[in-house]
Structure 1
Amino acid sequence: MDDSSEAYLCINDPNGNCSESHAVLEEEEEEEEEKFRRKLKYFFMNPCDKYTARRRKPWKLILQVLKIAVVTIQLVSFGLSNQMVVQFKEENLMTFRHLFLKNFSRSSANTHAVYTQHDVYTHITYTVEQFLMLPSITVGNHEYEKSGEVYTPLSICQQFYHNGSLSPANESFHIDTHVDEECSLIYPRQPFSTLTANPLNFTLHFERLLAVTVKFTLKSINLETVQYHELPDCYVFNIMITFDNKPHSGRIGIELDNDVQINECSDWTVTGASPRDMYIMVLFDVMVILILLLSLLLCTRSVKAGVLLQFEYAAFFSRRHSKRVSFSERMEFISGWYILIIISDVLTITGSLLKIIIQLKAMASYDLCSILLGTGTMFVWIGVLRFMGYLKKYNILIITLRAAFPNVIRFSCCAAMIYLGYCFCGWIVLGPYHTKFRTLNVVSESLFSLINGDDMFSTFKNMQQKSYVVWLFSRLYLYTFVSLFIYMVLSLFITLITDTYDTMKVRER
């Protein structure tokens, strides 16, 4: 029956029952609205208020506190293990530089170079000699790599232009840009006396030379991990020494780098340590994963409840008031804290599974595991702010951050346009005359340091004065950047946060 029919019946009702039925309907609607209002109020209560209202124990709150503890313990454990890996890599890299680079010193790591043809041959010969004598000179447990019964050789390769002739005196050149490569192999364990004075067995074409690379592979085992109840890893170091002559400036830079692979040792025996102690962390990681899965389940259920209540609220509002609910009001039902916790749980669960695989020596993706566990733990600790928000005096920080965030994003976008303009200008103009402006990445880091007042004097002082116009431009460039960003942009940014804080503080009162 539609509304017009009801109105007609009400008009022709001799007993006057229409007003009574309307009163009953209004009372039922008010009761329904009050019930729905209480439902909304309870949904937006914090766990402490819910416990006070219905004596409902805050299981999610208890679980989150427990999760913070176990995840932090897990991260510290993995951090100590990863620290040993990183330290072992860095110490081996420094060892290889001292072993295979002639006259290497730590202070000359970035400037190690040769300037004569004789020095190039001498340095390559020195590297080959040290490689062949490695078992008798190293203080570590470094060994050559073997493929079956054959040792992996050391390779010396030169890359050079296919053909060409240069005549700087006549300002003429003819270059074929196709690159050729010649290599020579030297096997370990061969008598050193059989080597000739020139181990290359070919002549370097310095006029067309681009680079000389010396490559070889060594193996080692990190025994330090045994002291911390972990099985040692077997390391494969693919070492490459590069003599870079691409600029043809008369200076050939020398750089040693290594690509590290971490593998499970195929045959091992450890005495004096209980195997149970070595796998106890695996059981702990399994417990952490179970706690995280329970947290993920509870938070997902809460998000689902919020989404369902959002649709119920929109339908109720449309039916009773004939209005649509705005997007911002809909988003109030979806807690950003739960989304943050869900993301952190997924990252930490993935990182924990990867950590178990690493501890079982099935793979060695330490970097990926570090990113997952580190990011997950960071989000977990940021989520602590949600619990601090239950206290009125601490809630002002969260409210200020949430209120200021949109304005901060808009302000940062505007400031980024100016910042990028200075980055491009500094790179193209000052790059040839200052080491801090050679690449876009370095320029951005240098300018960000200047904003924070770091290394300011040396940035001004180290500018080369070969071109007076560029030197004068650099002064104008640096003075305007410092004045604009430190005195204006940074001050406006702080003012933006301060004004939002004052506004929220007044509202809180």
Structure 2
Amino acid sequence: MPLVDLPVTVHMNNNEESNEEEEEAQTTAPTIDSNHCRNSITTTQPNHSENDLHSTHNCQNEYEKHLKAKLRFFFMSPCWKWRLKRQFPWKACFQLIKIIVVTTQLILFGIEREMHVIYISESNITFHHLFLKEWSSTFETLPYPQTVGDYAVYTDDELINEMNYAINRYNNMTEISLGLFDFHTHNDLDASNPQRTVKICLNRFDTCTMFPSNHT
């Protein structure tokens, strides 16, 4: 009999009950008198009779069968353990619970992540419409080839007008927007400064000489 000879699932026939009894008999650990075998193995000397040697050999065979049966039962699937011993598969149930919990956590994480991405995308679109002058929904699509040009300014006057527009819209955001937006603090406003201002750091060269011939 091999060390691990696990039973496999087969189609049931007319001899189903007899096959189950044979498998159960092979799997069940044999009951042996361990004290008797230990005493026989310990007290056996070279000058003893052949009966003592035969008894010792039988005890060793019983131990071998007992170990093989325990190994067979240990490596059995939970279904076979329940079928042969009516042993409830606690470990299998615990693994099933872990799979359910981990899968639920992954699903919830995916849903929360999707909601977060949607919120960020919709907020960006909302701020574009609120703070950018002449912003159109055509800039939000991704057609190929692109039907409209890039949103940009090219002159000083256009830049100043865009900044003034964004600042005015920003200060009136709580009144003109449909969303529930508000400022973090209102302590920076007073009677002399009713609107929030923007600070710009601009670096320019005092003197600049260009050479068009060599593009420098």
- TM category (shorter chain) comes to 0.5 to 0.7
Deviation at 1:25, TM superposition (A): 3.7
Tell me if structure 2 keeps the 8 A contact 1:135–1:142. yes
1:121 and 2:160 correspond:
yes
Give 1:34's aligned residue: 65
Give 1:171's aligned residue: 214
Question: In structure 2, what residue type is equivalent to 1:145?
Answer: H
Give 2:179's aligned residue: 140
Unaligned runs of 5+ in 2: 1-44, 143-149, 190-194
Pair 1:56–1:132, CA change in 2 (3 A):
same
Question: In structure 2, what residue type is equivalent to 1:143?
Answer: D
Counterpart mapping for 1:398-437 below 5 A: none
Equivalent of residue 104 in structure 1, options 114, 120, 135: 135
2: CA distance between counterparts of 1:39 and 1:153? 81
Tell me if structure 1 keeps the 8 A contact 2:133–2:162. yes
Tell me if structure 1 keeps the 8 A contact 2:171–2:196. no
Scaled by the length of structure 1, what TM-score is found? Answer: 0.27
Deviation at 1:49, TM superposition (A): 0.8
Question: In structure 2, what residue type is equivalent to 1:114?
Answer: V
Tell me if structure 2 keeps the 8 A contact 1:97–1:104. yes
Tell me if structure 2 keeps the 8 A contact 1:166–1:172. no
Tell me if structure 2 keeps the 8 A contact 1:99–1:130. yes
Deviation at 1:45, TM superposition (A): 1.1
1: CA distance between counterparts of 2:63 and 2:211? 95
Give 2:188's aligned residue: 150
1:128 aligns to what SS in structure 2?
helix
Tell me if structure 2 keeps the 8 A contact 1:50–1:56. yes
Deviation at 1:122, TM superposition (A): 2.5
Deviation at 1:100, TM superposition (A): 0.9
Pair 1:88–1:121, CA change in 2 (3 A):
same
Pair 1:21–1:114, CA change in 2 (3 A):
farther
Pair 1:154–1:49, CA change in 2 (3 A):
farther
Question: In structure 1, what residue type is equivalent to 2:200?
Answer: C
Pair 1:55–1:120, CA change in 2 (3 A):
same
Question: In structure 2, what residue type is equivalent to 1:99?
Answer: L
Equivalent of residue 54 in structure 1, options 69, 80, 85: 85
**In proportion to residue count, which structure has more helix?**
1
Pair 1:162–1:168, CA change in 2 (3 A):
closer
Pair 1:121–1:22, CA change in 2 (3 A):
farther
Question: In structure 1, what residue type is equivalent to 2:177?
Answer: T
Tell me if structure 1 keeps the 8 A contact 2:129–2:135. yes
Question: In structure 1, what residue type is equivalent to 2:154?
Answer: Y
2: CA distance between counterparts of 1:24 and 1:85? 76
**1:423-457: CA deviations, max 9, x gaps?**
xxxxxxxxxxxxxxxxxxxxxxxxxxxxxxxxxxx
Pair 1:37–1:164, CA change in 2 (3 A):
farther
Deviation at 1:78, TM superposition (A): 6.1
Larger radius of gyration: 2
Task: Tell which has more relative contact order, 1 or 2 (C-alpha 8 A, sep 6+).
Answer: 2
2: CA distance between counterparts of 1:161 and 1:32? 94
1: CA distance between counterparts of 2:66 and 2:101? 40
Counting matched residue pairs gives 160
1: CA distance between counterparts of 2:105 and 2:215? 66
Deviation at 1:160, TM superposition (A): 4.0
Pair 1:24–1:166, CA change in 2 (3 A):
farther
2: CA distance between counterparts of 1:153 and 1:20? 108
1: CA distance between counterparts of 2:206 and 2:73? 82
1: CA distance between counterparts of 2:56 and 2:209? 101
1: CA distance between counterparts of 2:58 and 2:205? 96
**In proportion to residue count, which structure has more strand?**
1
Deviation at 1:22, TM superposition (A): 4.0
Question: In structure 1, what residue type is equivalent to 2:77?
Answer: N
Question: In structure 2, what residue type is equivalent to 1:98?
Answer: H
Deviation at 1:142, TM superposition (A): 1.0
Question: In structure 1, what residue type is equivalent to 2:119?
Answer: F
Deviation at 1:141, TM superposition (A): 1.4
Question: In structure 1, what residue type is equivalent to 2:57?
Answer: E
Pair 1:114–1:150, CA change in 2 (3 A):
closer
Scaled by the length of structure 2, what TM-score is found? Answer: 0.56
2: CA distance between counterparts of 1:89 and 1:37? 63
Deviation at 1:159, TM superposition (A): 5.6
Counterpart mapping for 1:429-508 below 5 A: none
Pair 1:90–1:172, CA change in 2 (3 A):
closer
1: CA distance between counterparts of 2:76 and 2:197? 70
Counterpart mapping for 1:65-76 below 5 A: 65-66=96-97, 68-69=99-100
**Percent identity of paired positions between Structure 1 and Structure 2:** 26
